[in-house]
């Protein structure tokens, strides 16, 4: 079972190992592998060129961060990651909105089938995957949190909540992931349906593709780091 949604607690130790594009996404609060980092050389996303970054937050700063809310903690970590990119990779970038395809989550014609959560229930969003089959379990989760989770980014597009459903809900969603990563594929072998079908049948929700403004990070300059 893999929990999603809530940000992990900030540690005094920092460790990253992967493609630099993933570090850029983290530093600017973008979902991983969301295709929203634009420009830059091919090596920043190459599997053959992974970079390992380790470090420690100084004691005074770490103590100050611990007193902040979870959201503010993540903001501070993102700023430190941006500073690291600028220092070690001579990184410069700017953020802009571009009109690109995205999904809008709406209530299907038959109406929502979501069950309202009790006030005392703890919020949790998790999933279990067995081959192409995926089961999502949500307890006291808002529709906006669900829309922002990686679970609805099967083909890496941004999902915008336009259901108008307020409050927190409990639900289970079972679907078969498409081998080519789109929301309509999969589910043809007698197992769970494809994501698009499962959303309507099980939750009373629907994903609609449209062009709309999506925030992207445009790389102006980046260099390979020198050896330590």
- Give SS3 for 48: coil
* C-alpha dihedral sign at 149, 218, 227, 49: positive
Chain mean position to CA 193: 23
Nearest alpha-carbon partner for 183 in 194, 193, 198: 194
Say what the pLDDT of residue 95 is. 94
Residue 188, pLDDT score: 52
Any domain includes 149? yes
61 and 137 within one domain: no
C-alpha 144, offset from chain centre: 12
CA distance linking residue 158 with residue 212, whole number of Å: 10
Same domain flag for 129 and 56: no
pLDDT tens profile 96-110 = 999 988 999 999 999
Residue 163 pLDDT grade (very low, low, confident, very high; cuts 50, 70, 90): very high
DSSP-based three-state secondary structure for 74: helix
Tell me which residue has tokens 């829309």: 147
40 shares its domain with 117: no
Same domain, 59 and 41: yes
**Least confident interval from 38-47, 125-134, 176-185:** 176-185
185 and 111 inside one domain: yes
Our CA angle for 35, 176, 138, nearest 5°, is 80
pLDDT band of 227, cuts 50, 70, 90: low
Same domain, 106 and 186: yes
Pairing of strands 169-176, 115-116: antiparallel
DSSP reduced 3-state for 91: coil
Q: Which residues contact 145 (CB under 8 A, 6 or more apart)?
A: 5, 123, 125
Provide the pLDDT for residue 143.
96
Q: Say if residue 110 is in the same domain as residue 94.
A: no
Same domain, 71 and 172: no
Same domain as 29, residue 128? no
Q: How many domains does the chain have?
A: 2
Pair 117, 179 in one domain: yes
In a domain, 1, yes or no: no
CB 162 within 8 A of CB 208: no
Whether 106 and 208 map to the same domain: the answer is: yes
Residue with token string 């698009």: 196
Better-predicted residue by pLDDT, 11 or 73:
73
Burial class (CB in 10 A: 0-12, 13-18, 19+), 105: buried
**Residue 92 belongs to what domain range?**
7-98+214-221
- Kindly state whether residue 39 falls inside one of the protein's structural domains: yes
Give residue-wise pLDDT tens across range 167-224.
Answer: 999 999 999 877 655 555 555 545 578 888 999 999 999 999 999 998 999 999 999 9
Residue 181 is predicted with a pLDDT of: 52
| Rounded average pLDDT over 65-87 | 86
- DSSP alpha helices (H): ranges in the chain? 20-27, 59-66, 70-89, 143-148, 195-198
Distance CA(79)–CA(76), nearest Å, equals 5
> Do residues 89 and 13 share a domain?
yes
> Is 203 among the domain residues?
yes
């Amino acid at each position: 079972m893999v929990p999603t949604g809530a940000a992990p607690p900030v540690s005094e130790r920092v460790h990253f190992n992967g493609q630099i594009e993933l570090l850029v996404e983290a530093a600017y609060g973008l979902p991983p592998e969301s295709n929203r980092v634009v420009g830059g050389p091919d090596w920043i996303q190459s599997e053959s060129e992974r970079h390992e970054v380790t470090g420690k937050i100084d004691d005074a700063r770490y103590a100050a961060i611990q007193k902040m809310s979870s959201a503010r903690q993540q903001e501070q970590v993102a700023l430190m990651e941006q500073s690291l990119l600028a220092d070690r990779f001579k990184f410069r970038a700017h953020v802009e909105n571009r009109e690109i395809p995205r999904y809008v989550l709406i209530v299907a014609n038959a109406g929502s089938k979501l069950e309202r959560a009790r006030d005392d229930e703890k919020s949790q969003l998790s999933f279990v995957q067995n081959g192409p089959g995926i089961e999502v379990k949500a307890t006291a989760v808002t529709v906006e949190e669900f829309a922002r989770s990686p679970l609805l980014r099967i083909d890496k597009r941004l999902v915008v909540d336009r259901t108008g459903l307020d409050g927190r809900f409990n639900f289970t969603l079972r679907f078969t992931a498409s081998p080519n990563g789109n929301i309509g594929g999969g589910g043809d072998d007698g197992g769970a349906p494809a994501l698009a079908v499962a959303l309507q049948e099980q939750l009373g929700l629907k994903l609609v593709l449209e062009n709309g403004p999506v925030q992207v990070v445009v790389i102006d300059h980046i260099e390979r780091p020198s050896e330590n």
